[in-house]
Amino acid sequence: MTSIREFQELMRAIYYERDSRRGIERTFMWLVQEVGELSRAILRNDRENIEEEVADVLAWLASLCNLLGIDMENAVIKKYPGRCPKCGSIPCRCDLK
Residues that bind Zn ion (CB under 5 A): 84, 86-87, 92, 94
Contact partner at residue 19 from Zn ion, Mg ion, none, CB < 5 to 8 Å by partner kind: none
Long-range contacts of residues 66-71, Cβ cutoff 8 Å, at least 24 apart: 66/8, 66/11, 66/12, 66/15, 66/16, 66/19, 67/19, 67/20, 67/23, 67/24, 67/27, 68/24, 71/5, 71/8
- Which residue, 29 or 84, has its beta carbon nearer to Mg ion? 29
92 binds, among Zn ion, Mg ion, none (CB under 5 to 8 A by kind): Zn ion
In the bound complex, which residue of the shown chain has the CB atom lying closest to Mg ion? Answer: 56
Interacting residue ranges for Mg ion, rule: CB under 5 A: 34, 37, 53, 56
